[in-house]
Copies of this chain bind each other. A is one copy, B any other.
C-alpha cells in the first residue's frame, strides 16, 4: 500500500501548497478560488505534473508551483463553465456565478488566466508559457466544437474523441508534458508522458460521461442526467446509438430531436442496455492504452501512474 498512500500524500501536499502559498493580487478572486478548491476535487492534473516531473528525474518539492498552475487553469475554466452552462451547482457547492453574479465570474476567470500567465511568463522558460496558452486555446476550441455538436446524433466516436481530446485531454497532456520538461526528461520520456496524459485525459472524460448516467448525485456533485439535459451527445449515448436497434434507440432519437418529455426514457434506453457495459470496456481499454504509452519509462517508474489510473478506474 506504499504507492497508494504516496498518492494520497501528493494530493495533501498540493492542497497544503494551495493553503499556504497561493494568493492572487486580488483578495476577492483569491477567496472565490480558495472556496472552489476547498469544496473538493482529486487534483489529478497537478498530481500528473508532479509524477511526470519525478519520473523524468526531478524533485516533486521543486515543482509544486507549476503543478498548481495546472489545477488553476482547470479552476478558471470551471468558473467560466458556470457562466457558459448557467449551472446551479459545481462540485456540490454553489457556483461562483450564483454566489457572485455572471459579471464577476467572467472577470474572475479572465483575471485568473491572466494571473497564471503573468507568473508563468515571469518564472518559466520557453516552451512552458507557450504550452499553457496553446492548451487553453485547445480547451476553448473543444468547448466550441461541443456546443456545435449539441443534439448531433451523427457524432461518432472519432468526433467524440476529437472534442474530448481538445476540451479535456489537452490539459492532462500539458500537465504531464510540463512536468516531464521541468523534471529534465529526455525527448522520448517527454513524448511518452505526454501520450499518457492525453489517453488518461480521454479516459477521464469517458468516465465523467458514464458517471452522468450511473452515479448518485452526492458522488459527482452535480445532478445526474445533467449532460443530457444540456443536450450533449456524450460517450455512452454514442455507444448506444451505434449498437441498439431502431426500437431500442427510439427514445434517444426523440429526445435529441426536440421532445424534452422523452428525457427519462432516453436515459433508460442507455442504462438498461448493454451500452453501459460496452462503454465501460472501451473506457478500461483506453486506460490500458495510457499505461502502455509508459513503455519507454523504466519499470520502477510505472507504479505511481498505475495508482493514478486505479483512482479513476473505480
Contacts and interface: CB of A to CB of B under 8 A. Distances in A.
B106 A28 contact: no
Interface in A295-309: none
A124 to B, nearest CB: 10
A32 to B, nearest CB: 11
Interface in A135-169: 136-137, 139-141, 143-144, 147-148
A115 interface: yes
A35 interface: no
Contacts of A129: 117, 121, 129
Contacts of A141: 25-26, 111
A104 B147 contact: yes
Nearest to A130: B121
Nearest to A29: B144
A312 interface: no
Nearest to A127: B121
A270 to B, nearest CB: 25
B104 A83 contact: no
Q: How many copies does the complex hold?
A: 2
Contact of A121 (B85, B104, B110, B133): B133
B114 A136 contact: yes
A80 interface: yes
A130 B118 contact: yes
A109 B137 CA distance: 10
Contact of A122 (B111, B115, B130): B130
Nearest to A26: B141
A106 B84 contact: yes
Interface string A91-117: 000000000001110111111011101
Contacts of A126: 121
Given A83-B83, A117-B133, A121-B133, A103 B26 contact: no
B80 A106 contact: yes
A103 B87 CA distance: 12
A108 B80 CA distance: 12
A134 interface: yes
Contacts of A83: 83, 102, 106
Interface in A12-53: 25-26, 28-29
A155 to B, nearest CB: 17
Nearest to A80: B106
A136 B110 contact: yes
Nearest to A110: B140
Given A83-B102, A84-B107, A106-B106, A118 B144 contact: no
Contacts of A118: 130, 133-134, 136-137
23 contacts: A25-B137, A80-B106, A80-B110, A83-B83, A84-B102, A84-B103, A102-B102, A103-B147, A104-B147, A107-B140, A107-B144, A109-B110, A110-B113, A111-B137, A114-B134, A114-B136, A114-B137, A117-B117, A117-B129, A117-B133, A117-B136, A118-B137, A120-B133
